[in-house]
Amino acid sequence: MQANGQPLGEPSPAGVNPEDIADLMSAVSQRLRNVVDFSSAALVSPLAVGAMAQVQGSVMDCASALDVLQSSLLHELTRLQQASRAALDCEAALSASQAELGRLRDGERRAWHMALHDGLTLLPNRRYLCDRLDAALGSTVPAPLAVLYIDLDGFKAVNDNHGHAVGDELLRIVAVRLRRAVRPVDMVGRLGGDEFGCLLQGALEPERLARLAAHLIEVVAMPVQIEALRLQIRPSIGIARSPGDGLNAQALLRCADVAMYRAKRQGCGHAFFETTPGNGDGRQASTASDARTRALMGEPCLPDWLPTLPPNGALAPGPAHRAPAELASRNAGRA
């Protein structure tokens, strides 16, 4: 490239190639030398000879100046060609660097997406859902929200009877149905196994939440065709609301999980978390939820009590002996 952006080897705006200019200067210099070559001229008067010698000297000076100018032009032309090649090399290196940077950014985006999404259903995973939930709860002015804990009833039987490939396809179909059934501002994620979570933003009255839960049950329970199999599965849904049921992600998920267990046991489809004393299942459901949470985290889980043998080693009729209360406290410390 020339300094003015004109590619080397192409005609300049004046219509003359820079290389042709050097050739033209060489031809003009040679022509001037030929014009003042008086070696074959006829004899002339001494006065004319002096004038001719003066003219010849001036013309030769011009020819020499053209030679110097031609040499400088060729040198500059060579330098510009080298600069043009260097610029092309830099442009190629810059393009390669930009392509590599684009590949690195794409790889980073894919890795980040994989870290926050479930590989099977492509939904946000438990970590991403909890992060979004904590962010919403931790804002300067926390907005009311609700969490739905969704579990598929009888999913283990599908895996056992038809294989994990069918079970995986069923999970993918359920994930699509759930995502389409909620608003774009809400988030549906896979918590693990056959459990899904739904984060609902904004103030939603219990009546609206109940209608939404009933709608989700209806949507998920629609028959599913997987190859030659026609399957139907029904979810149980637990509902927890903030700020009443919890102020962080884990607390709300635990409450929604407790409510889901109650809905599953009672066969009522969905249930709200209740703190009313004497509901008969809050402690048991909470214990089961904590145990499953510890299992997902890879921690050992001990029951709150174990039968123990009396000192003589015989089991006598009557109530079971319980292990020391430290077992319960150890489990509570891991929850």
Q: Which residues are catalytic?
A: 194
Beta strands in the chain (DSSP E): 145-153, 187-192, 195-201, 224-226, 229-231, 234-242, 270-272
Count of helix runs (H) and strand runs (E) in the chain: 9, 7
Task: Give yes or no for a cis peptide into 144 (omega within 30° of 0).
Answer: no
DSSP-assigned letter for residue 27: H
d(CA 256, CA 240): 5
* β-strand partners of 159: none
Distance of CA 33 to the CA centre of its chain: 75
> Dihedral of the CA atoms 188, 190, 196, 199 (nearest 10)?
-30
The pairing of beta strand 195-201 with beta strand 229-231: unpaired
d(CA 270, CA 275): 16
How open is the CA angle 300-306-307, to the nearest 5 degrees? 155
Beta strands in 168-207 (DSSP E): 187-192, 195-201
Q: Which of 184, 113, 194 lies closest to 152 in space, CA to CA?
A: 194
d(CA 105, CA 127): 22
Long-range own/partner contacts, residues 34-39 (CB < 8 A, 24 or more apart): 35/59, 36/60
**Side-by-side strand order, sheet with 195-201:** 187-192, 195-201, 145-153, 234-242, 270-272
d(CA 22, CA 67): 9
